[in-house]
Amino acid sequence: MFNAIVSADTLQAALDSVSVLVDECKIHLDEDGIEIRAVDPANVGMVDMTLEASAFESYETDGGLIGVNLARLEDIAGMGDAGQLVHLELDEETRKLHIAIDGLEYTLALIDPDSIRQEPDLPDLDLPAHVVIEGRDIARSVKAADMVSDHIALGVDSADELFYVDAEGDTDDVHLELDEGDLIDLTAGDAHSLFSLDYLKNMNKAIPKDAEVRMELGEEFPVKMHFDFAEGQGNVTYMLAPRIQSE
């Protein structure tokens, strides 16, 4: 059983954070909220998104697991204006999700969860450097790196207490430094890793410009990025695997 009401913009934010990585996903319907974990086909980018029951106007479930086509569900959520309420109700018998927005009813055929790629477990990494940065600064870093390269290096200089972004093109280079004054918070520790820019560009699309993003970084280690939405009742964690650096 699943019967819930949520605002259209909260639903969209939750779905957008996952759809930048995968087309289909499993949604866990738990008593304390919903959770989606997914990894892209190349096993490079992972996401763990939770939306607490308290983020919903009403929320009832006795647990369950459904598989959905994300683009389709996003289109439906997009039919609602920002504040409009979306009513979601699972029909256990037909395995369809009934979605209602202001007189509009959409019947969404679910996907067999077993046919969807297995969910990842995002490992605890205990990374040495932590940075809290505004979403708009991630956007700026990605845009700058994109001018010269397909890769982007993220690092922390523990001596100078700086977070930095590097991108090296065939002829041109980009370098961005943010110190404690530019950042919301910085726990210095040696960190430098190279990432595929395409993945970071996609993740950036789902990060609100005014979000406080907590990044965890290491030496040739994955980067983790955490941010909240829906007034803190929604939480997204991205993990992006590093590229091997050719010396």
Site residues for its own copies per CB under 8 A = 72, 75-76, 79, 103-109, 140, 143-144, 147-148, 171-178, 182
62 versus 92: smaller Cβ distance to its own copies: 92
1 versus 104: smaller Cβ distance to its own copies: 104
Report in angstroms how near the CB of residue 213 gets to its own copies at its nearest: 17
Token pair, residue 113, equals 């969860």
Distant-in-sequence contacts of 202-207, Cβ < 8 A, 24+ apart: 202/20, 202/21, 202/45, 203/20, 203/21, 203/45, 203/238, 203/240, 204/135, 204/138, 204/139, 204/142, 205/16, 205/20, 206/13, 206/16, 206/17, 206/20, 206/236, 207/135, 207/138, 207/139
Report in angstroms how near the CB of residue 141 gets to its own copies at its nearest: 9
Report in angstroms how near the CB of residue 165 gets to its own copies at its nearest: 9
65 versus 147: smaller Cβ distance to its own copies: 147
72 versus 226: smaller Cβ distance to its own copies: 72
Report in angstroms how near the CB of residue 9 gets to its own copies at its nearest: 18
91 versus 220: smaller Cβ distance to its own copies: 91
Amino acid letter, residue 99: I
Instruction: Give the torsion sign (CA, 223, 70, 209, 102).
Output: negative
How far apart CA 123 and CA 95 sit, in angstroms, is 32
Report in angstroms how near the CB of residue 133 gets to its own copies at its nearest: 12
